[in-house]
């Protein structure tokens, strides 16, 4: 499938980057090597998404549940994140990438928090594509935080007045479109507490390919699959045709 076959390009693609450990185990390598290989492919994919006209790419890098992993694996993942921010930032910024980190960063070490802040501010005026990295992110955390923030800015109001639109504006993804296409690599078919609210109407694409093998060709395959979906948003097929013009 070539790029010209992709007639409908999603605005927002989100990816659960899974299968690093199994990729490594299949090669008799330590799990951490899977994470290293997985992180090394991100830059090319981001640039490919930008070329294809995707406005936002959100990557699940570390979940609120991933703290349950062995200490050395958690350290490797944190180290890779720091390394990524140091080594890839310049290239990403030159390519017009705006970096946004979503998740509870308060739990990270000050060094990492400071690098996240710097990376976000250096790239904040870039407009070609938004790369949203979900780190210590949980979909349930996001919704609860949004409610707290709404209450903080509306101290006198009752939650009875809370609307979907108001809540969306306080999620970590405020200002970004809802997810059109959710991709999960690694063969599992679950959400694992990713963008629960934002994926309410996403198309779901599951592939057996492990994340370190998910290259630009695999991305184009997923986008080709997406282009063949009919999104109905609750309407009938007939209505959907009219809606799409």
Catalytic residue numbers? 18, 66
207 binds Mg ion (CB under 5 A): no
- Asked if residue 16 binds ligand IPE (CB under 6 A), the reply is yes
CA distance linking residue 157 with residue 170, whole number of Å: 15
Least Å distance, CB 50 to Mg ion, is 27
Tokens at residue 11, please? 């605005």
Q: Using CB under 5 A, which of 6, 18, 76, 172 touches Mg ion?
A: 18
| 61 binds ligand IPE per the rule CB under 6 A | yes
Residue span 17-56 as binding mask against ligand IPE, x where in contact by CB under 6 A, dash where not: xxxxxx----------------------------------
**Would you count residue 182 as binding ligand IPE (CB under 6 A)?**
no
Q: Which residue's CB is nearer to Mg ion, number 10 or number 38?
A: 38
The DSSP code for 235 is S
CA count, 13 A, side-chain hemisphere, 48: 18
Answer yes or no whether residue 62 interacts with ligand IPE by CB under 6 A: yes
Sign of the C-alpha dihedral computed for residues 46, 119, 81 and 100 taken in this order: negative
Cβ(12)–Cβ(56) below 8 Å:
yes
Q: In the set 188, 201, 228, 239, which binds ligand IPE (CB under 6 A)? A: 188
Task: Show the beta-strand stretches assigned E in the chain.
Answer: 12-16, 56-63, 97-102, 129-137, 181-184, 203-206
Closest C-alpha among 119, 229, 237, 115 to residue 182: 229
Of 103, 138, 186, 212, which lies in the binding site for ligand IPE, with binding defined by CB under 6 A?
A: 186
Q: Is 232 in the site for ligand IPE (CB under 6 A)?
A: no
Surface-to-core class of residue 103, CB atoms within 10 Å of its CB (0-12 exposed, 13-18 middle, 19+ buried): buried
C-alpha span between 245 and 241 (Å, rounded):
6
190 binds, among ligand IPE, Mg ion, none (CB under 5 to 8 A by kind): ligand IPE
Identify which of residues 6 and 49 has a Cβ nearer to ligand IPE in the complex. Answer: 49
Cα torsion 147, 97, 48, 218: sign: negative
Q: Does 142 bind Mg ion (CB under 5 A)?
A: no
In the complex with Mg ion, which residue's Cβ is closer, 16 or 176?
16
Q: Which does 84 bind (CB under 5 to 8 A by kind): Mg ion, ligand IPE, none?
A: none
| No. of helices (H) and no. of strands (E), the chain | 10, 6
Residue from the set 37, 46, 60, 119 that interacts with ligand IPE by CB under 6 A:
60
List interacting residues with Mg ion (CB under 5 A): 18
> Footprint of ligand IPE on this chain (CB under 6 A)?
16-22, 60-63, 66, 77, 186, 188, 190, 192
């Amino acid at each position: 499938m070539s790029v010209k076959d992709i007639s409908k390009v999603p605005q927002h693609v989100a990816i659960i980057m899974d299968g690093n450990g199994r990729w490594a185990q299949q090669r008799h390598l330590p799990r951490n090597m899977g994470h290293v290989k997985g992180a090394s492919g991100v830059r090319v994919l981001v640039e490919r998404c930008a070329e294809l006209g995707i406005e936002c790419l959100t990557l699940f890098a570390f979940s609120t549940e991933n703290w349950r992993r062995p200490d050395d694996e958690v350290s490797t993942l944190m180290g890779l994140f720091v390394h990524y921010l140091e080594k890839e930032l310049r290239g990403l910024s030159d390519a017009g990438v705006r970096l946004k980190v979503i998740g509870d960063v308060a739990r990270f070490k000050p060094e990492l928090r400071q690098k996240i802040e710097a990376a976000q501010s250096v790239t904040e005026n870039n407009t070609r594509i938004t790369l949203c990295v979900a780190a210590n992110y949980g979909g349930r955390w996001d919704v609860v935080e949004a409610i707290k923030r709404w209450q903080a800015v509306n101290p006198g109001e009752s939650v009875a007045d809370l609307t979907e639109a108001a809540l969306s504006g306080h999620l970590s993804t405020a200002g970004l479109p809802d997810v059109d296409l959710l991709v999960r690599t690694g063969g599992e078919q679950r959400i694992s507490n990713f963008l629960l609210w934002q994926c309410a109407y996403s198309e779901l694409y599951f592939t057996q390919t492990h994340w370190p093998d998910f290259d630009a060709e695999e991305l184009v395959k997923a986008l080709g699959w997406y282009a063949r979906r009919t999104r109905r948003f609750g309407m009938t097929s007939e209505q959907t045709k009219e809606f799409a013009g």
